Amino acid sequence: MGFLSAFRGENTVPDYRWRTRHRCCRGGHEVEDDPKTGLHIVGRGGFPNSGGVLECDAAIMEGITGRFGAVAALRGVGAPVRVARRVMDRSPHSLLVGEGAVAFAREQGFTIEPDDNMLSAHSAKAYQEFLEQKQSVSGHDTLGLIALDSMGNITVGVSTSGAPFKSPGRVGDSPLPGCGLYAEHMVGAAAATGDGDKIMCHCPSFHAVQLMKQGLSPNRACYTVLDDIIRRTAPDKCFEIGLIALNMKGEVGAASSVEFPYTFWIQGKDYVETSTQLPNSTEMEGTEKCDTCTVK
């Protein structure tokens, strides 16, 4: 899943950066903590690891100062992106994992729930089938949100429960800066979804932002990154990857090796626009633009 949303906030908040990070966290944790979205490998209700425990990865990055916070293999928290934000705001470190992430979340007042509370009926059933029949679940999904406001502040956040029935402690691309997400002030931001074990070897989010820095549109940047990956892996061996990007002009773009839906919202519109990026498309679609451009 990819989400791009545009929001133009009132210029009354002293800390303008707070607005974009708040939008990313609020939008993210509402999706993460809904068991229904676990079907899409995000947050509560997601598929557990091979030991039956749900472990989530999440990260948030601001462009204006390059601030970053992330958690990986976090257990017992239904909204891991909120813990990632606390890491960014209150920890001297940038990335906390496993028991360290759990301990930090507890210190910050988050309730650590039992493993059974983190699974849905669907994910629990899927895990039982995995144990009995070694039948796995296909797909690689990540919740990615990019927020840009009228002051030019940009924030990107990502969250995932990771590959279904993964090895305990496995971490994919999502919480790694440059891989699952990247933001740079005065340039833009990008987020990725797909096979995290492969994505992290290519740093696609960083690559896309650097191409936008060189003047490419978000759409052309995303296509260039995907084309580079395909050239290095061979077209018939390319792994699952979807990439979204947003620049400071409010232009949005995406590229993917699989069918990839994403959404964006522009200030002043009373509806959310949805677009589907087709796999291995060689002809770039027209660039979308948020005219007032700010993001929610």
User: How many helices and strands (H and E) does the chain possess?
Assistant: 8, 13
| Residue from 151, 157, 154, 142 nearest 24 by CA | 157
- Taking the C-alpha atoms of residue 3 and residue 264, their distance in angstroms, rounded to an integer, is 6
- Give CA 46 to chain center in angstroms: 15
- Taking the C-alpha atoms of residue 156 and residue 165, their distance in angstroms, rounded to an integer, is 27
For the chain, the 3-state helix, strand and coil shares in percent, each to the nearest 5, are 30, 25, 45
The answer to whether 67 and 92 are in contact (CB under 8 A) is: no
Q: Which helix (H) or strand (E) holds 70?
A: strand 68-74
SS3 198: helix
142 is catalytic: yes
The answer to whether 207 and 225 are in contact (CB under 8 A) is: yes
Q: Which of 142, 160, 193, 294 is catalytic?
A: 142
Strand extents, DSSP E, 138-293: 143-148, 154-160, 181-184, 188-194, 241-247, 251-256, 260-264, 273-277, 288-289
- Taking the C-alpha atoms of residue 141 and residue 39, their distance in angstroms, rounded to an integer, is 9
Residue type for 108, please? Q
- Taking the C-alpha atoms of residue 217 and residue 213, their distance in angstroms, rounded to an integer, is 9
The answer to whether 85 and 60 are in contact (CB under 8 A) is: yes
Catalytic site residues?
A: 142
